[in-house]
Amino acid sequence: MNTTRTALAVGAAATLLLAGCSGSEQGPAGGSTPTGSRGSAVSAERCAQNEAAGTVTYVTGFQYQASASILDPVAAQALGYFDDVCLDVEIQPGTGQTAQNAQLVASGTAQLSSIAGNGDVLVNVSNGVDVQAVAVFGHVPVATLMTEPDVTDLRQLEGTTLGHKGALPVTIEAMLRAAGVDLSTITQVKVGYDPNVLVRGQVQSLTGYKSNEPLTLAAAGEQITTWNPEDYGVPGSMATTIVNPRFLAEHPTAVEDFLRAQLRAYDHCEQHAEECVADAAELARAGYDTEHNVQVWQTETKLVDSSLPPGQVLGQVDDTAARTEGEFLVQMGQIPAVPDLTQVLVPDLVPSLYAEGQLVWPVP
């Protein structure tokens, strides 16, 4: 693990003891039992400021999947961390449509939301949607392309059929072009969410997410090869948190302490994945694959930790990387120009929550 993350874990443990707040205990259903008391991590003045924000609505990226920026807010709620900082948070499940999430936040229907990555923020802002990015967890594309093991060169896909969820992800397109593939020879088809279309031979390549479809196929004993955009120099990011700019301006402490609680819960869930997934399962109720979602979380946290730039803290918005991603989107024809990043990104917010690499909890 990156040394900054290690320091965070040690610091979180130290401040936990100093604050006299134990993490959590296992409840009867295997999830978290809230500890601490209302306002235990903030002063009375800051508590009043946060309560003045009213109900803070957070929309997840996709349902209650155990992904970064989804499982951690769910856990923060279950562990009582939001209550500790006097925040009344309502978590709503998203549909996976990033444009919809951005519009909900821009309209003020929601105050914060998870969105796939910085690229999605830039595309939405370029389309006139007024949101700001306040946190980003992964600095690597989460998309992947799956093939059967007999494909050893992406140019073998010429003349074959590629399956996607509705559109070819721009990072996958860039990877194929970088590998010298003539995309005009590939037939693209929309498929459902069953990755077995690949192993049944209905498609010869299939787009997906590193933390989802490959895990499903591996659990079924299927052998596949995954092709990742970052191996071809393609930039990307994952698990970005966006905010309504007006809400941030009017209630800065509420946004700060939402992220503070989220980051603390992220650290807790790295050590207690099963407990946190049980919290999400309780919200999702029927049909929630607990074992698979533990694997989703563990896969994504590895991606987050391994891609954290040296010297940065978890959640920090990297404006240089965001510009690189924006320039890539311009090159790929996704946006006409890189938006004014000073109006889109809030890079100093998350670092302000740390002291010497350690998340500050409780708030002084």
143-167 per-position pLDDT tens digit: 999 999 999 999 999 999 999 998 8
Banded pLDDT at 27 (limits 50, 70, 90): very low
pLDDT of residue 16: 34
When pLDDT is averaged across residues 93-107 and rounded to a whole number, the result is: 94
Banded pLDDT at 30 (limits 50, 70, 90): low
The total number of structural domains that make up the chain: 2
Angle between helices 98-107 and 118-126 (to 10 degrees): 60
Task: Determine the distance from the C-alpha atom of residue 146 to the mean position of all C-alpha atoms in its chain, rounded to a whole number.
Answer: 21
pLDDT of residue 208: 95
| Type of residue numbered 102 | A
Residues 284 and 307 placed together within one structural domain of the fold:
yes
Q: Which of 186, 209, 232 is the last residue of a domain?
A: 232
What is the residue-averaged pLDDT of the chain?
A: 91
- Answer yes or no: is pLDDT of 135 > 80: yes
Tokens of 309: 């730039």
Percent helix, percent strand, percent coil in the chain, to nearest 5: 45, 15, 40
- Answer yes or no: is pLDDT of 25 > 50: no
| Type of residue numbered 21 | C
Distance CA 150, CA 250 (A): 56
Residues 319 and 348 placed together within one structural domain of the fold:
yes
Residues 175 and 189 placed together within one structural domain of the fold:
yes
Q: Percent of the chain, pLDDT > 90?
A: 87
Domain membership flag for residue 364: no
Banded pLDDT at 138 (limits 50, 70, 90): very high
Distance CA 286, CA 296 (A): 18
Residues 101 and 114 placed together within one structural domain of the fold:
yes
Residues 93 and 170 placed together within one structural domain of the fold:
no
Domain assignment of residue 326, given as a range: 3-140+236-359
More confident residue, 242 or 12: 242
Of 15-24, 278-287, 305-314, the range with the highest mean pLDDT is 305-314
> Does the global pTM surpass 0.85?
yes
Domain membership flag for residue 25: yes
pLDDT of residue 192: 83
| Type of residue numbered 53 | A
Residues 155 and 122 placed together within one structural domain of the fold:
no
Residues 105 and 19 placed together within one structural domain of the fold:
yes
Q: Which of 232, 253, 281 is the last residue of a domain?
A: 232
When pLDDT is averaged across residues 67-89 and rounded to a whole number, the result is: 98
Residues 126 and 263 placed together within one structural domain of the fold:
yes
- Answer yes or no: is pLDDT of 7 > 50: no
pLDDT of residue 358: 96
Taken as a whole, the chain contains a residue count of 364
Q: C-alpha angle 117/119/121, rounded to 5°?
A: 80
Q: At 150, which CATH number?
A: 3.40.190.10
Q: What are phi and psi of 331, to 5 degrees?
A: -60, -35
Residues 258 and 130 placed together within one structural domain of the fold:
yes
Distance CA 109, CA 112 (A): 9
Residues 219 and 248 placed together within one structural domain of the fold:
no
Give the residue among 59, 58, 49, 79 at the shortest CA–CA distance from 264.
Answer: 79
| Type of residue numbered 32 | S
Q: Which of 184, 215, 232 is the last residue of a domain?
A: 232
Long-range contacts from 336-340, C-beta under 8 angstroms, 24+ separation: 336/126, 337/126, 338/122, 339/122, 339/125, 339/126
Banded pLDDT at 17 (limits 50, 70, 90): very low
- Answer yes or no: is pLDDT of 251 > 90: yes
Specify whether the CB–CB gap between 67 and 100 falls below 8 A. no
When pLDDT is averaged across residues 45-70 and rounded to a whole number, the result is: 97
- Answer yes or no: is pLDDT of 38 > 50: yes
Give the residue among 297, 304, 292 at the shortest CA–CA distance from 271.
Answer: 297
pLDDT of residue 285: 80
Specify whether the CB–CB gap between 234 and 40 falls below 8 A. no
Residues 136 and 162 placed together within one structural domain of the fold:
no
- Answer yes or no: is pLDDT of 21 > 70: no
Domain membership flag for residue 66: yes
Residues 92 and 240 placed together within one structural domain of the fold:
yes
Q: C-alpha angle 216/273/351, rounded to 5°?
A: 110
